Amino acid sequence: MKILKHPIFYISVLLASTVYLANRFEVPLPNWVYFYINDFLCMPIVLSTCLAVLRIIKKTETLYVPISVVLALTIYFSIYFEWIMPHINMRYTSDIIDVGLYFFGALLFLRFQKQLF
């Protein structure tokens, strides 16, 4: 359970929530904040939450997310949010930079998951 109590997880969720709420309430922030911060934080938050849930279900703190699962989830998010959703909903736009940010966030999660969690 130490994942959900870790300061980096809290800060990531707080930052992502703040950007989301700022957007909803039309708080003026630089475009790069609205367009890219949450894409970068997406995979570390999702993967940390998945790892925490798996550890709760399995009742062990020694479980880690393998690179194949990280890669599969990142590819899934990239395809779903950057290719499928822009065709279905006008709210979504396709951006290759977002895909890079998903992968960069996933790489950071992989790099630090054993040290931090």
**Can you tell me the distance from the alpha carbon of 40 to that of 113, in angstroms, rounded to the nearest whole number?**
16
pTM over 0.95: no
The predicted model gives 14-39 an average pLDDT of 96
Which whole number is the average pLDDT over 69-81? 98
Domain boundaries, the chain: 2-116
Predicted pLDDT of residue 31: 94
Residue-wise pLDDT tens digits, 42-67: 999 999 999 999 999 999 989 999 99
Residue type, 4: L
DSSP assignment of the chain equals -HHHH-HHHHHHHHHHHHHHHHHHTT----HHIIIIIHHHHHHHHHHHHHHHHHHHHHT-S-----HHHHHHHHHHHHHIIIIIHHHH-TT----HHHHHHHHHHHHHHHHHHHHH-
Q: Is 93 left (phi over 0), alpha (psi -120 to 50) or beta?
A: beta
Structure confidence at residue 5 (pLDDT): 87
One-letter amino acid at 15 equals: L
